[in-house]
């Protein structure tokens, strides 16, 4: 049995870069920062930031390009993939990425959201957009929830 699964929650370090392949597939690439906080033996607070390269394809790429921006808090689920290539200096290079299968926007509606243009409609305030690579699904959130609360409660985890 094999398993290749990556799940992260963090903030975008830059706006997604949306491109199209020669055969017309959309691809978005962006970086997500996560951090680990702990206390060392002396009781001092320590923090380490990790940067993750993320790639999304097709419809998920278009959604990422449209709705995500630098600073957006997201949940990304996907698989790890390492690419290799030979650079212009003839040195073999490697890049490990998370190929996204699912994405959930975790920002509160209207909280630092990038301006939208045209006839685009923002998500309703009581909806948390849940995006996967094949479809967009909205799920109602608890309307009594404290909008200042960013904590995940154990009772809300489905397993």
Segment 8-63, tens digit of pLDDT: 999 999 999 999 999 999 999 999 999 999 999 999 999 999 999 999 999 999 99
The full set of domain ranges for the chain reads 6-156
**Per-residue CA distances from 31 to 13, 104, 131 (Å):** 6, 15, 18
List, for residues 122-136, the tens digit of each pLDDT value: 444 444 444 444 443
Fold of 6-156: OB fold (Dihydrolipoamide Acetyltransferase, E2P) (2.40.50)
Phi/psi for 111 (5° steps) reads -85, 90
pLDDT recorded at residue 154: 56
């Amino acid at each position: 049995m094999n398993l290749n699964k990556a799940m992260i929650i963090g903030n975008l370090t830059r706006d997604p870069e949306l491109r199209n392949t020669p055969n017309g597939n959309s691809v978005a690439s962006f970086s997500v920062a996560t951090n680990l906080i702990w206390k060392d033996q002396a009781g001092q607070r320590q923090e380490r930031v990790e940067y993750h390269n993320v790639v999304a394809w097709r419809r998920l790429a278009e959604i990422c390009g449209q709705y995500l921006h630098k600073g957006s808090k997201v949940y990304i689920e996907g698989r790890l993939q390492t690419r290799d290539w030979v650079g212009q200096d003839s040195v073999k290079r490697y890049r490990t990425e998370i190929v996204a299968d699912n994405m959930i926007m975790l920002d509160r509606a209207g909280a630092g959201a990038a301006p939208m243009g045209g006839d685009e409609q923002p998500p309703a305030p009581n909806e948390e957009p849940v995006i996967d690579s094949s479809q967009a699904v909205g799920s109602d959130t608890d309307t009594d929830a404290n909008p200042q609360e960013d904590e995940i409660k154990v009772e809300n985890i489905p397993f």
